[in-house]
Amino acid sequence: MTINAVMQLVLFLVLLLLLSWPLGLYAARVYQGRPCGLDKVLGPLERLLYRLSGVDPDREMNWKTYALAMTGLNALGFLAVYALERLQGGLPLNPLGLPGVDPFVALNAAISFATNTNWQAYAGETTMSILTQMLGLAVQNFLSAATGMAVAVAVIRGIARRETTSLGNFWQDMTRSVLYILLPLSLVLSLALIWQGVPQTFTARVEAAWIDPAAVSAPAPDSQAAPPATQSIILGPVASQVAIKQLGTNGGGYYNANSAHPFENPTPLTNLLEVLAILLIPAAFCHTFGAMVGDRRQGLALLAAMTILFAIFAGLTMAAEAVPNPALASIGVQNAPSLEGKEVRFGPTGSALWAAVTTAASNGSVNAMHDSFSPLGGLWPMLLMQLGEVVYGGVGSGLYGMVVFAVVTVFVAGLMVGRTPEYCGKKIEPFETKMAALIILIPPFACLAGTALACVIGPADAVSNPGPHGFSQMLYAFSSMGNNNGSAFAGLTATSPFWTLAGGLAMFVSRYWLILPVLALAGSLARKKRLAQGPGTLPTHGPIFVGLLMAVVLVVGTLTFVPSLALGPVAEQLALFQ
């Protein structure tokens, strides 16, 4: 790992931690209904929205009502996106005349965007119309992100409150997440991206002259037709979608090449802004957690565990991509880091850092093709997803995922010393432990069961490599969908009915079958009394707890996936030295 790589990683983490602190405290004021600055401007709009929709923001919900409101809104969003995709051929804002999307692909994409996964088994610029991109996908980017944020706030209230059944009002939490946090941040980032050259237009395409016409080939080797005089470059409202795809840890790109495309990520500054935006809200929510539970140290402990784990995995990924391919180096063909599948303007270091960031969060955007990474360079991002995406994780989902691991950690610590475990003054009893175990086990089941099915009954021509790398492609795909990430190894053709249906099921299960027990856990904690710390209580804000928490995250994730990783990236790495 070079000095340049270390400096980039340190600079990134310093900027992230500095920016997340004020945002997290601001978000706490938003959800607590305290003055936050923007309430003077947006408060009247918020109240108008409640009146138009018939919502009483002061009416609190128990966890079941909260869950019902959440699933109802998400179901409507899924249906709206599916309908837009299927009917886009006859709808306006379709200047390229794109037909309706294939039913299986449309179903997969609708589930993907409803669950904040944003897995894309299609090329966005040649499949989705401008209307579908704006009204369907971009809107879902806001709503799915706000869903995770609302659920996280409900979990925080469950820990902060005592002897109550109420967790807040889902509609109010959703509205405030979008209105006060996601929209302002997206507006600022969109303007910065437009300034740097990211398109934001309803113009469908422009015709550009070739720089070197002599190098342009004829349409076919045996064709007598002259090569085209110009090339068509597809445009659209790109900046607005890129901003929310990063800030909401969505990841669905306007273009098939995602953030490797020069129109989505044209300069080093946009690369820095976008990669910071991916982890900004997940990191900020740790400060929100500490402020809302009344003990800032609790949030800092979670943030410390996330940051240390992320620094380790990012460093390993960057180190793996900083060395040449040993099979090529041994015969003197290559003595520098491989640039295959990478943008030269970002290089191995920038590509590896982005890969670690996007898989640590449930983001899924890429600025390089992970399929071209070295075996170990692909292993570490894959394992980051398999840990449950709690090393920062998605907006909201990363925080409540790490809280679940904290519950398991205090349970394990309680077994060690023979005491009833407590977290933030709440006693952890069998129900909470069962819910935590269920939440932790569902994503690995979706990932490993899906991969096994793909190996047995999946289409044989879906993978581009029949060896260990092909297995890695399938394992990575279900690790991504089973943890609501959305990134792909590339090299995998995922448009067949098997992949669209199996992937859609994995995304659905790993989103909603997690949120429901998470809300049940929050409801149970809210009903409990707050206990005073005693001499035998494990402090959950000190370095010992941070170390135990990291150990639990690593042990659960690593032991679950070691056999499958051995069949894929580890076997491929060992084969390089034969």
Count CA atoms closer than 13 A to 109's CA, side-chain side.
29
Amino acid letter for position 122: Y
As separate numbers, helices (DSSP H) first and strands (DSSP E) second, the chain gives 21, 4
End-to-end Cα separation, the chain, in angstroms: 25
What token pair was written down for 261? 């495309």
Distance CA(8)–CA(578), nearest Å, equals 34
CB-based burial of residue 547 (10 Å sphere; 0-12 exposed, 13-18 middle, 19+ buried)? Answer: middle
Tokens 């929100």 map to which residue?
288
Structure tokens at 366: 């890429």
Q: Which of 29, 251, 39 is nearest to 153 (CA)?
A: 29
Identity of residue 571: A
Integer Cα distance of 5 and 388 in angstroms = 26
SS3 content of the chain, % helix, strand, coil (to 5): 65, 5, 30
pLDDT of residue 364: 87
User: Do the strands 422-423 and 426-427 form a parallel or antiparallel pair, or are they unpaired?
Assistant: antiparallel
pLDDT reported for residue 350 = 92
**Whether the Cβ atoms of residue 574 and residue 568 lie closer than 8 Å to each other:** no
Q: Smallest Cα–Cα separation from 190: which of 149, 145, 134?
A: 134
Q: By three-state DSSP, how is residue 324 classified?
A: coil
| pTM given for the model | 0.93
Average confidence (pLDDT) per 10 residues, the chain, 578 residues: 88 96 97 92 95 93 96 96 96 94 94 92 91 94 96 96 94 97 97 96 88 67 67 91 94 89 93 96 97 94 96 94 76 73 88 94 90 91 91 93 94 79 90 93 93 91 86 93 88 89 94 94 94 78 93 89 92 83
Q: Any bridge partners for residue 427, and if so which?
A: 422
| Residue 220, pLDDT score | 56
Identity (one letter) of the amino acid at 201? T
With CA atoms as reference, report the closest residue to 490 among 257, 265, 271: 257
**Is there a contact between 381 and 317 (Cβ–Cβ < 8 Å)?**
yes
Judging by beta carbons within 10 Å of its beta carbon (0-12, 13-18, 19+), is residue 407 exposed, middle or buried?
buried
Q: Which two tokens stand for residue 2?
A: 């070079």
Whole-angstrom distance, CA of residue 85 vs CA of residue 137: 10
Domain boundaries, the chain: 391-575
